[in-house]
Amino acid sequence: MSAPSSKIPYLLLAVAAVALDQISKLAVLATFRDYERVNIIPSFFDLTLVYNPGAAFSFLADQGGWQKYFFLGLAVVISVYLWRSIARGDFARWGKIGAAMIIGGAIGNVIDRLAYGHVVDFLLFYWQDWYYPAFNIADSFICVGAVLLVIDGFTHKKDAQAKKAV
């Protein structure tokens, strides 16, 4: 296990992700009516207020409510696992950053599910007739964090193989 002080930057990153996510959602909830859209960049980006009872891309959104508890539990289990991995030193630096970002994003969406029963989404990117599903700051942290974990997996694996070969 690494020293507690070495985990503080990752804890702060996760807390910052939750704070940015929740502040942005509260601002949108206070400003927008349900499903209202405001164009920010013509033919490319709008702010909107939509709700997602499911997961990414509205996966399981139409399942009647049980999915809320499933995604709550899944987010908690994944967050605990990732935090434990940070604490044990299972990841190199980029992996720890990625894991902290995923934890912060997951907790941001857990707060939504507990407070509202669904996740609040508001970032909408599109081009002509193509629309990327609306998402939020927490989702962004989760995606970037996942990419960093993959990068860490490849680079960490190469480091381990290089040490093993010596």
41: buried, middle or exposed (CB in 10 Å: 19+, 13-18, 0-12)? exposed
Q: Is 34 a catalytic residue?
A: no
Q: Is 139 a catalytic residue?
A: yes
Give one DSSP letter per residue of 26-53, joined into a string: HHHHHH--TT-EEEEETTTEEEEEEEES
End-to-end CA distance of the chain: 25
User: Measuring CA to CA, which residue among 77, 106, 99 is closest to residue 149?
Assistant: 99
User: Measuring CA to CA, which residue among 60, 106, 64 is closest to residue 81?
Assistant: 106
In the set 21, 112, 121, 152, the catalytic residue is 121
In the set 46, 112, 139, 152, the catalytic residue is 139
The residues carrying an active-site annotation are 121, 139
